[in-house]
Amino acid sequence: MSSIKQEPGKRRYIVRSDDPQQLAGFIEDVKRDSNMELIDKIGPANQPHTVVVEMSDSQADELRQRLQAAKKPLTIEPDRPLSLFDVS
């Protein structure tokens, strides 16, 4: 059983980029937005390549559309738990 607590109506999303400056700007935007919560940074301490952010589905959809329209090199997708597959 998972011990991860999520706020009702919100879900975790993974946001990543090959451009460290774009991701750093996104992280600053998340810190200023009270409707999003930065959960984790993945990658080198001073240059993460991926972040986990908690937000509503509608906010994630809006963010995805804004990123595409602005042609920002960031991708966003739902965070899904990892599991081993059965090899029987």
72 CB burial (10 A radius; 0-12, 13-18, 19+) = middle
Tell me: the pLDDT tens digits for 19-69? 989 999 999 999 999 999 999 999 988 889 999 999 999 999 999 998 888
Give the tens place of pLDDT for each residue, 2-26: 445 556 689 999 999 989 899 999 9
Specify the DSSP class assigned to residue 8: T
Q: Which domains are seen in the chain, by residue range?
A: 11-78 (3.30.70.340)
Strands annotated E in the chain: 11-16, 37-42, 50-55, 75-78
Beta strands 50-55; 11-16: pairing state: antiparallel
Say what the pTM is. Answer: 0.79
